[in-house]
Amino acid sequence: PSTEFNWDDYLKETNSQAAPPDCFKQHLTPPLNEFKPGMKLEAIDPRNETSTCVATVIGSIGPRLRLRLDGSDNSNDFWRLVDSSEINPVGTCEKQGGMLQPPLGYRNNASNWRNFLQRNLTGAEMASPKCFKKEPKSPPSNLFEVGMKLEAVDKKNPHLICVATVGDVKQDDFRIHVQFDGWRGAFDYWTTYDSREIFPVGWCRLSGHPLQPPGQKGKTGAGNVATAPKSKSLTQNPGTVDTTGNNHSRGAKAEVPEPETTLYINS
Ligand code: MLY
């Protein structure tokens, strides 16, 4: 339908430019996902980056894997690209002289870790080395400029990739400020220019990953608190989001009176 988000129209409407693809640590062609749910692999524990753990593929969206560390609970799932250097075939750690570690928050007694690991891996399907794609090279420097558009993971809802803008650039410490179009600042964050969680305009379409359209902030006739917490149905049904008009741009911020109370609903 015509209400679906379209980058070309949006860039025109907002009179803005896409960040060039060479700004990003991403392959020009998104990698193929050959993983299947249930497959085991090794992953760096995101909460304890010095330890390598066994993880299971819980699901995937396009080239992004939803992973869970074996022996951990189901509330600390995390996402990695199939070309991430933080995942490897089972056996890699040991080949390099390391030892697989229990995850932070291991739900059993640490003394039975060896037994757990053995039982856990027996009969399991290991992801084949060919599933793991080569990590792209980092750009030589921070090439981002303020105002450039991109697609970025919402770290608070990490299954989502959303329409975003570079709001600020720090040349000195390699960081950019990612701001989500049409959302109040609550989701914004600083990240390094070579983050694997930011993508060039068009990456979602190419990779088959859904793209969250801009939020409702600054929409005509709704410049109040009601627009800040976007309802779940809007989030999940981009067809109901009006993507026309200039009001979605960050520039519209000043035209909209800030509400006295901002209520964020974590759905
Ligand atoms: N649970 C929240 C999700 C908000 C997502 C915001 N991102 C897209 C910047 C909601 O549905 O309101």
Using the Cα atoms of residue 178, residue 206, residue 182 and residue 149 in order, give the sign of their dihedral.
positive
Between the CA of 157 and the centroid of ligand 1 the distance, in Å, is 7
Assess contact for 243 and 234: CB atoms under 8 A.
no
Q: Give the helix/strand (H/E) hosting 61.
A: strand 48-61
Assess contact for 169 and 176: CB atoms under 8 A.
yes
Q: What does the alpha-carbon distance between residue 173 and residue 238 come to, in Å, rounded to a whole number?
A: 36
- pLDDT of the residue at 250: 43
Other CB atoms within 10 Å distance of the CB of residue 251 = 15
C-beta 227 within 6 A of ligand 1: no
What Å distances lie between residue 235 and 87, 120, 127, 229, CA to CA? Answer: 30, 37, 33, 10
- Which numbered atom of ligand 1 lies nearest the CA of 232? 11
Q: Give the helix/strand (H/E) hosting 7.
A: helix 7-13
What Å distances lie between residue 107 and 53, 55, 78, 80, 113, CA to CA? Answer: 14, 14, 18, 23, 10
- Ranges of residues in the chain with a pLDDT under 50 are 221-259, 262, 267
Between the CA of 186 and the centroid of ligand 1 the distance, in Å, is 10
Q: What does the alpha-carbon distance between residue 68 and residue 80 come to, in Å, rounded to a whole number?
A: 11
CA angle 203, 206, 18 (to 5 degrees): 35
Q: What is the pTM of this model?
A: 0.81
Q: Quick: pLDDT tens for 49-100.
A: 999 999 999 999 999 999 999 999 999 999 999 999 999 999 999 999 999 9
What Å distances lie between residue 43 and 54, 69, 138, CA to CA? Answer: 6, 8, 21
Q: Which two tokens stand for residue 18?
A: 């896409």
C-beta 232 within 6 A of ligand 1: yes
Mean pLDDT estimate for the chain: 86
> What percent of the chain is modeled with pLDDT above 90?
76
C-beta 229 within 6 A of ligand 1: yes
Between the CA of 160 and the centroid of ligand 1 the distance, in Å, is 9
What lies within 8 Å, CB to CB, of 193 at 6+ separation is 23, 25, 139, 141, 142, 143, 144, 174, 175, 176
Between the CA of 231 and the centroid of ligand 1 the distance, in Å, is 8
Between the CA of 234 and the centroid of ligand 1 the distance, in Å, is 9
- pLDDT of the residue at 237: 36
Pocket test for ligand 1, best of 151, 156, 178, 231 (most atoms within 8 A of CB): 156
